Structure 1
């Protein structure tokens, strides 16, 4: 193996061991948690290596980087996740490659995604991004709808052509009552997920946890964790 493949293999194994240990501690089966590797700022060559190592889920947060990278890796059997804040003018591009969009946080965005997906003949799985730092009726500092807005937005997504409602996503907030309380934040997301599934039984995804807090997310009940730097290394500075 090349030096980079050796490095990624070791890092990936360490993360998988962390997930396995967290699942065991929580009394959960390892296969209840899906690892999504966040490949932002890293080249398509790394995506190819990860695929060779068995990774099947990758994520990006900026369309201008993701679109050419996904195109370069279109021959690989991968599920592409879009996890960044999404502007409506980028929707048509994102729909071309994203299988799952984690950051739906307003009806206008849901409508744009629906129109683009239907026009492209695709069905895209969408997660409602929940902002646990948002005032009711507002959005979070890093995107997301306040908990009180989840039900209405879920109904919009669930009834939209070209979209399917996958579940909920959150990022541990830096402000508000959950700041510094990652486990509590993720437990709140799971509570909201339980309520959501009463009306939308297929919306089973709970996307939470990153490199620094994946254990807390697994303990709370996350089904998907989004891990970047722990697998790929410290990200190069953006110029």
Structure 2
């Protein structure tokens, strides 16, 4: 299994997962044209994608979803709350689109993977993360959550690799240019995970998860160096045993791959 970050951040999120039988996308937060360009640029095969699984309905995760799913002729999988919001309030096309409702902690199969959604804590209709399994290998994806619950940790500690949000530095957020209302939203339990909160999760996960990608970094309220330093502190003695990658908005490139292989 291979995970390649195509984009990560407030301007768009999209991740390509490939395995022995096919591939899936997590989220479609770029335009369809840009997603296809980045897939080709990074050596990812668009024709192998058999499903798009969606974490939630915010625009930086679904802006290209409708057009991309129809271009790839693949179905969309998301929770009922996410699909209802997307189909009723955000989709503008009336062209046919195949959708499937998924439920928390109820595994489903797509692209040759067994995928288990789990609840995240975000100001969205019914947001989720995923544990994706194939041939005994497990991969976790957990972004856009204000907290990491014990149940989320139980799901993630069984993974061989993990994408985990590390959105903001609390000091940069407090002293930054955002209005106070937005600052409160970001740091709330239904907002985004801070660097210290991500580090605390990694401290608990310890040696169980050998590869980590830090994701969804704010370009205003964080820096890659701050996120990495905080995660390194959280991992402590386990840091040298791990592959730690910081994803960026630009995503993976041939010269700077942002991916893990499991």
What TM-score do you get using the length of structure 2 for normalisation?
Answer: 0.41
Greater fraction helix? 1
- The TM-score normalised by the length of structure 1 is 0.44
